[in-house]
Structure 1
Amino acid sequence: MPCPFCNPAPEDIVARNDLCYARYDIHPVSPGHLLVIPFRHVAGYFDTTYEERMALARLIDDCREISERKHRPDGYNIGVNVGEAAGQVVMHVHVHFIPRYRGDVAGEHEGGVRGAVPGRPG
């Protein structure tokens, strides 16, 4: 099966630089959920080059600007699933840029990254 992140359709690209692009997640967990993806097919974050990591970081800043204009969130989660055990489904590295909104998850802090492991305190 072909990689869904290689060869993105131009109309799907929300922002880009020389090494990476951003697109909306097709299964968003919140309004404005973006994925930041290197153009080069590489499975995991730790397999990216320094230049790719810096390009990802610059594009994350661009995603924040887009999100502030379009969605006005109250916060953000930014993260990478590395490997199947961590929840990575598509084996082409991608950074989740998830806008967060007050009250989008029950409980005061249940929506943070520590909530990813059931039973672990925040």
Structure 2
Amino acid sequence: MSGEPSKTLFEKIIAREIPATIVFEDELCFAIRDINPVAPTHILLIPKKPMPRLCDAVPEDQALLGHLMLIATRIAEAEGYGDAYRLVVNNGAASGQSVFHLHLHIIAGRPLKWPPG
């Protein structure tokens, strides 16, 4: 064994080791269609910088986190849901996070109830 930590699913997608339907990419992040969508539009927005959970962000990540929010809006608009979409960030296993690489769920295309979950 090399002793190096294994790559997350998203790091493998970034490296093009695993195929995915990429709907957006820039130097900081990329977005893919979720393979198990909960709505007609369900896109995962993923920073290229490895960050296991939102609570692992540091002050230097502020610009990246803001960038993700702006890109989420751009993607929702491109999908036709610029004024009616939900952003979800699961932080930790107890919240439903299953891939420990920060990602935002962009969900739209059906009525969404409150509270979620």
Cα distance between partner residues in 1 of 2:61 and 2:25: 12
TM-score normalised by the chain length of structure 2: 0.71
Aligned length in residues = 108
SS of the equivalent of 2:9 reads coil
Residue number in structure 2 paired with 1:115: 116
Which segments of 5 or more consecutive residues in structure 1 lack a partner in the other structure? 106-110, 117-122
Equivalent AA in structure 2 for residue 55 of structure 1: L
Pick one of 4, 17, 32 that aligns with 2:9. 4
Stretch moving more, 8-17 or 35-44? 8-17
Q: RMSD of the TM alignment (CA)?
A: 2.7
1:1-122 residue pairs with structure 2 within 5 A? 2-8=7-13, 9=16, 12-72=21-81, 75-101=84-110, 104=111, 111-112=113-114, 114-116=115-117
**Identity value in percent:** 32
- Measured after TM superposition, the shift of residue 72 of structure 1 is 3.8
Q: Give 4+ residue runs of structure 1 displaced > 4 Å after superposition.
A: none
SS of the equivalent of 1:36 reads strand
TM-score normalised by the chain length of structure 1: 0.68
Cα distance between partner residues in 2 of 1:36 and 1:51: 19
Which segments of 5 or more consecutive residues in structure 2 lack a partner in the other structure? 1-5
